[in-house]
Amino acid sequence: MAVNIGKKIWKRGDLFIWLTGAGLALSLILTTALLMGIVVNAFGSFWPEKIQILNLNDGSKVLGTQVGRESIPNYGTPDERKETYRVQIKKANRDIYNSDFVWIDEDKIKIIQFPEEVVAVTRREWGYFFGYIKEVLDGDQVIARGTRESLKVLQSLLPEVTAKNKKIEKKEIGAINYKLERVRLKLKRLNLKGISEGPEVDELNQEIPELQSKYSELEKKLHELRESQTGKVVLQTIEGREKTLPLAQVLDINNPNSFSLLDKFGYFLKSINDFFWDDPREANTEGGVFPAIFGTVLMVMMMSLLATPLGVLAAFYLREYARQGTMVSIVRIAVNNLAGVPSIVFGVFGVGFFIYFIGGSIDQIFFPEALPTPTFGTGGILWASLTMALLTVPVVIVSTEEGLAAVPKGTREASLALGATKFETTWRVVLPTVMPSILTGLILAMARAAGEVAPLMITGVVKLAPSLPVDGLWPFIHLERKFMHLGFHIYDVGFQSPNVDAARPMVFATTLLLILMVILLNIAAIYLRNRLRKQLTASAV
């Protein structure tokens, strides 16, 4: 009987069918596991963690959140192996303990408590602080004592303090610095032309002290502001060490252990909001990713502006205008293959051609005053976008060509027979029909550009850009500036940062954001393509 079954299975190939199915199952499981892993970790990093107090057997106490747990390899004597676990605790307070994390064996923990008055402070520097609030001071005067009272006072004081500092520091002082630099460059340029005197020079020379006095004025204002902000909060670690923090250093303060579900949800939303709109802090391991989002979106937009028209033109040329022959077939194969050329090769091309050749020439002709500091002769958002455009043009071409191939010949012939010229036919009949294909191509190109990192690493992405490529200072769009990118942010924070453990939540959150961006773009493309197919099958009848 068993033999019979075996034969039957063999002949019907059930075993192999199931095995091939297992291949698919494994692919699906792995993909799901990857996505789930990222989603869980990313959202986990926004969710408020309870802060624990671990009372250890030796009488000491550790305060922090649990971030990991693993079994201890080879625990106990070789004869008597024990299955024991240890937990990773984030203690925060980097300035006091030197490191954020500690591993504690579970069998050394006596009891775990979750006291309500423990607070988590988000600081401008040194990462988080976990501990207690002792009091809030204004100058030497105590305004509030104890956790509850202090929190109430702080929550009303904080937003105001932060907003004022930010405005002066980032915007105004930055603007004046930029203007000063421009005046200096203008002077140097005149000098290069051989003009070292005259009305132009005098005018510029007058501007310098003006700007400088503005600068020192602002500096004074900032200084006064800092002086006037006498608010301080006195914090205490679990060991009882005190830390006095000026309010300007505090970004947020709360006591997660007392959170209700609603509070937690509020905190969660606020964290996500901050993540989107804040600048990065602490070597990118904390804060938000706004500059990276901005850079990614701007780069993708510039790339689209360059790649779409060129790709569509090329596709129309290949399908509609060029004489179909060997030459066009060769070109078509080459274009198809270009999509398979490693992205880093495009990056290398970008470096050799755009940056050093074109950029270097632009510098010599238009910006000799800044040399030897390169203006366009170094990586920047323009060159990165151009490189990306070249990388994604094949995607647009292939997609548009596919669409063109699907337009029935009869449609064109009908238009031509009615007396329309070729251009009119193309513009009024063919183009509207292939519009969805073009859009599909564009969206796929955008998705590819958003996710690609390697070529950007060598054509203008940096880990921390001092200013965005678009700001309120003439000429508003600074194409030569370096920029930040979500993908590179992942690489940099996850691999180059000195404190990888502390950076993990940040990396997962950024990854989720990037994946969402790319997947949404792809879903849009798939949806469009499916709709297009249906439309075409319907119209062909």
Residues 306-345 interacting with other proteins (rule: CB under 8 A): 309-311, 313-314, 316-318, 320-322, 331, 333-338, 340-345
Closest CA to 351 of 459, 203, 498: 459
Minimum separation from the CB atom of position 268 to other proteins (A):
23
- Binding of residue 25 to other proteins (CB under 8 A): yes
**Rounded Cα–Cα distance for residues 181 and 346 (Å):** 34
**Rounded Cα–Cα distance for residues 284 and 275 (Å):** 11
Minimum separation from the CB atom of position 409 to other proteins (A):
17
Q: Which of 14, 95, 106, 413 binds other proteins (CB under 8 A)?
A: 14
- Binding of residue 390 to other proteins (CB under 8 A): yes
* Token pair 């993990």: residue: 504
Alpha carbon 10 to chain centroid distance? 52
Give the nearer residue to other proteins in terms of CB position, either 24 or 163: 24
Are 291 and 468 within 8 A, CB to CB? yes
Give the nearer residue to other proteins in terms of CB position, either 137 or 507: 507
Q: Which stretch binds other proteins (CB under 8 A): 48-56, 207-215, 420-428, 429-437?
A: 420-428
Site string for other proteins, 233-252 (x = CB under 8 A): --------------------
* H or E stretch at 10: helix 2-12
Minimum separation from the CB atom of position 262 to other proteins (A):
32
**Rounded Cα–Cα distance for residues 39 and 512 (Å):** 6
Alpha carbon 482 to chain centroid distance? 14
- Binding of residue 419 to other proteins (CB under 8 A): yes
Q: Which of 238, 302, 388, 397 binds other proteins (CB under 8 A)?
A: 397
Minimum separation from the CB atom of position 81 to other proteins (A):
7
Q: Which of 36, 239, 427, 540 binds other proteins (CB under 8 A)?
A: 427
* H or E stretch at 451: helix 431-451
**Rounded Cα–Cα distance for residues 173 and 540 (Å):** 64
Helices (H), 278-339: 290-316, 326-338
Minimum separation from the CB atom of position 504 to other proteins (A):
7
Q: Which of 54, 157, 507, 509 binds other proteins (CB under 8 A)?
A: 507
Distances in Å between the alpha carbon of 48 and those of 133, 216, 272?
19, 42, 12
End-to-end CA, the chain: 55
Minimum separation from the CB atom of position 360 to other proteins (A):
8
**Rounded Cα–Cα distance for residues 232 and 93 (Å):** 17
Give the nearer residue to other proteins in terms of CB position, either 253 or 514: 514
Find the binding residues for other proteins in span 60-79 (CB under 8 A): 73-74
Minimum separation from the CB atom of position 477 to other proteins (A):
24
- Binding of residue 82 to other proteins (CB under 8 A): no
**Helix, strand, or coil (residue 510):** helix
Are 363 and 350 within 8 A, CB to CB? no
Q: Which stretch binds other proteins (CB under 8 A): 34-42, 151-159, 172-180, 363-371?
A: 34-42
Are 528 and 440 within 8 A, CB to CB? yes
- Binding of residue 491 to other proteins (CB under 8 A): yes
- Binding of residue 357 to other proteins (CB under 8 A): yes
Give the nearer residue to other proteins in terms of CB position, either 330 or 477: 330
Q: Which of 3, 11, 163, 196 binds other proteins (CB under 8 A)?
A: 11
Give the nearer residue to other proteins in terms of CB position, either 286 or 492: 492
Q: Which stretch binds other proteins (CB under 8 A): 150-158, 193-201, 361-369, 506-514?
A: 506-514
Q: Which stretch binds other proteins (CB under 8 A): 87-95, 161-169, 284-292, 519-527?
A: 519-527
Minimum separation from the CB atom of position 108 to other proteins (A):
22
- Binding of residue 450 to other proteins (CB under 8 A): yes
Helix axes 199-228, 173-193, angle to 10 degrees: 160
Amino acid identity, position 471:
D
**Rounded Cα–Cα distance for residues 44 and 116 (Å):** 21
Minimum separation from the CB atom of position 86 to other proteins (A):
14
**Rounded Cα–Cα distance for residues 432 and 423 (Å):** 13
Please, what sign has the CA dihedral across residues 86, 92, 97, 101? Answer: positive
